[in-house]
Every structure is written in structure tokens, then in C-alpha cells.
């Protein structure tokens, strides 16, 4: 059974291939667009059968080159920039491409697992439940979140969520995110700031109900994120749209304090104004309700934030290393 991993050179995709390799699986086709970025380094040390650029893969798929030859498509490929302003690009890349892959998978009895996002929840006015009855009421705050929400809604409208597994990833961080620029986690950016300046800059709060740095997010270590993803390959009869997080939100202050601790440094935080263009698109709180995931049978406990950051900083960032073989 061959497995396609789109976005296979990205953060989640490359780390998922790492986990598959640890399970003895290397019948993998990696699909991505490497371009001029450094994310090719995420594939070094990985074992896979072939690499195909995303445009060439879609063309080959539609021409029937993979009929009866694929067992699973793990679709992690997307533009993941929450500040991307080209709505047409996001719809083409995150919505239309996903629909083509999904339709092919359904028609060819191929397991389809794809990445959605916690960005679909917007400001959290409807809570963070992955119950299908809640999804239509969600109002994303940015175009990236909307492009993911649009695909979730397409599945629901067609009853196709029962034929696949959608994973609403919350704030994933860890090794192999180095190519992501401004979309890197605050752990990685904070680590660089500490090395360079001896301090970390965080956005001030622009809401009276949150003190500076006390905004909360559900931070999920990449090793837990890919383990949760593997659960849906190991259990192919489990379908639907699921939150992928810890259900334990932590503050930005706690996150950066843990980063200082992992580097054996004394905390030194200063707060800067949030850019005006981000203020109406900023999530002040996220918390994954993972009741559905646990009910489906996933029993492992996510890595505590401080332990995850220590692992990331000391095993990878300080050694300038990747999550490889």
C-alpha cells in the first residue's frame, strides 16, 4: 500500500514521514513544491519511494497514472500563511486542489486524511467544538482560515466527511519549521531573539480582558501532532473532522518563559504594539475540544508544554538539527 504525503517537505508532512519511517514504512510518494526555500532539508535522511512536484502530481493523478495504486493520501499540503492576502491563490491552493484530491480518493476507495486548521474557529465565538453541527456557524478571521473552512463545509454539504478524516491542527511547533519565515512558532523565533538580543518581544494585548502576554493558545508539539495523525491511518474506519490539540491552552508568557528555561536563561520579555492590520484577525484564545478524538480511541497524553519546548530547544535548535531518520 503506497502512501502519498502532500506537503511532505513541510513541518507536519516531513515529521509524519519521519514517524512512518520509524514504523518501517517507506512506500511513500512525497508531493510538494520545493521552489527556492530551504525546506528540501526536511527530506534529508527520510526514506521514500519518489518525490513529485505538486502540479505534476495532480496532472498524473487526473490522467490515471495512480489508479488502483494508492492506499492512502495524507494531504498536508497548503499555503499555511495566516497573513496571505491573495484570496484567489488560497482558494486555488487550499480549496480547489483539496477537492480534486478528495474526489479522486473517494472514487478510488483510497483513504483520505487532510489538514484543516484551528483558524477556522475565528475569534472563538462559537467555542472550539468539532461537532459538525457547529461548523456552519464558524466565522474565520482571515482568508487562510476561510480557505480551510470552505473545504470543511464542502465535505459536510456533500456528506463526504464520513469518507475521510479531517484534522483541525491547533498551534503546532517543533523541528522542521525552519523554512516558514514569519509563520515559524514563537519558540523558534524566541530562541533566535534570545541568542541575538537576550530578550523576547511579544505583542501587547489590545483587549482589556487580557493582560500583555496572557493571550492563550493551544500549543501542540509536532511529535504529538504526527502521532495523532498516524492514529487515523491505523484506524481507517474512523472518519469525520477532528480537533488536533492538547485541550490545555497556555499563555504566550508561559511559552517564552519555558524557552528561556530550556536555554538556562533568565526571562526578559518586552511587549510591542500589534500591527494594525493584524488586530482584527488575531485569536486571543484557542482551546481544542478533543472529546471526539478521545472517544474515537486516541488515549495518549500530549507532551506537557515545558517538556516539549525543552526537547525542541536542546535536541534540535541548539544543535541546528532536523527531525530526520
When pLDDT is cut at 50, 70 and 90, the band that residue 81 belongs to is: confident
CA 43 to chain CA mean position, Å: 17
Task: Write down the pLDDT at residue 80.
Answer: 82
Which residues lie below 8 Å from residue 192, measured CB to CB, with a gap of 6+? none
Dihedral sign from CA coordinates of 249, 251, 252, 254? negative
When pLDDT is cut at 50, 70 and 90, the band that residue 68 belongs to is: confident
Task: Write down the pLDDT at residue 66.
Answer: 83
CATH number of 2-173+219-246+286-302: 3.40.50.720
Asked if residue 3 lies in contact with residue 74, where contact means CB atoms within 8 angstroms, the answer is yes
Query: Known catalytic residues?
Result: 144, 180
DSSP element (H, E) containing 53:
strand 50-53
Q: What does the domain layout of the chain look like in residue ranges?
A: 2-173+219-246+286-302
Give the max Cα distance, the chain. Answer: 58
Q: Which of 12-16, 51-55, 66-70, 257-261 has the lowest mean pLDDT?
A: 66-70
Q: Is the pLDDT of residue 206 over 80?
A: yes
Residues 101-121 have pLDDT tens digits of 999 999 999 999 999 999 999
pTM confidence score: 0.96
Q: Is the pLDDT of residue 154 over 90?
A: yes
Asked if residue 252 lies in contact with residue 201, where contact means CB atoms within 8 angstroms, the answer is no
Task: Write down the pLDDT at residue 274.
Answer: 95
Task: Write down the pLDDT at residue 247.
Answer: 97
40, with CB counted inside 10 A (0-12, 13-18, 19+), is middle
Amino acid at each position: 500500500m503506497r502512501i502519498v504525503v502532500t506537503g511532505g517537505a513541510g513541518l507536519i508532512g516531513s515529521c509524519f514521514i519521519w514517524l512512518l519511517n520509524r514504523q518501517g514504512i517507506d512506500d511513500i510518494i512525497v508531493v510538494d513544491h520545493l521552489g527556492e526555500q530551504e525546506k528540501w532539508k526536511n527530506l534529508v535522511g527520510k526514506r521514500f519511494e519518489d518525490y513529485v512536484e505538486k502540479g505534476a502530481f495532480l496532472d498524473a493523478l487526473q490522467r490515471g497514472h495512480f489508479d488502483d495504486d494508492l492506499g492512502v493520501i495524507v494531504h498536508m499540503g497548503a499555503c499555511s500563511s495566516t497573513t496571505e492576502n491573495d484570496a484567489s491563490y488560497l482558494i486555488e491552493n487550499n480549496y480547489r486542489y483539496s477537492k480534486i484530491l478528495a474526489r479522486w480518493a473517494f472514487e478510488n476507495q483510497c483513504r483520505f486524511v487532510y489538514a484543516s486548521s484551528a483558524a477556522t474557529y475565528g475569534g472563538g465565538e462559537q467555542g472550539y467544538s468539532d461537532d459538525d453541527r457547529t461548523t456552519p456557524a464558524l466565522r474565520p478571521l482571515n482568508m487562510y482560515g476561510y480557505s480551510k473552512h470552505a473545504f470543511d463545509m464542502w465535505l459536510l454539504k456533500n456528506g463526504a466527511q464520513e469518507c475521510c478524516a479531517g484534522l483541525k491542527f491547533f498551534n503546532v511547533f517543533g523541528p522542521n519549521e525552519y523554512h516558514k519565515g514569519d509563520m515559524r512558532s514563537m519558540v523558534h523565533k524566541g530562541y533566535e531573539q534570545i541568542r541575538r538580543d537576550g530578550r523576547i518581544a511579544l505583542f501587547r494585548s489590545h483587549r482589556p480582558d487580557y493582560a500583555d502576554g496572557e493571550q492563550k493558545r493551544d500549543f501542540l508539539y509536532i511529535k504529538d501532532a504526527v502521532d495523532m495523525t498516524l492514529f487515523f491511518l491505523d484506524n481507517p474506519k474512523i472518519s469525520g473532522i477532528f480537533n488536533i490539540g492538547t485541550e490545555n491552552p497556555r499563555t504566550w508568557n508561559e511559552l517564552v518563559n519555558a524557552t528561556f528555561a530550556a536555554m538556562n536563561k533568565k526571562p526578559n520579555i518586552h511587549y510591542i504594539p500589534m500591527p494594525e492590520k493584524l488586530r482584527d484577525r488575531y485569536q486571543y484564545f484557542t482551546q481544542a475540544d478533543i472529546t471526539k478524538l478521545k472517544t474515537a480511541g486516541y488515549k495518549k497524553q500530549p507532551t506537557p508544554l515545558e517538556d516539549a519546548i525543552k526537547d525542541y530547544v536542546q535536541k534540535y535548535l541548539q544543535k541546528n538539527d532536523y527531525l530526520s531518520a
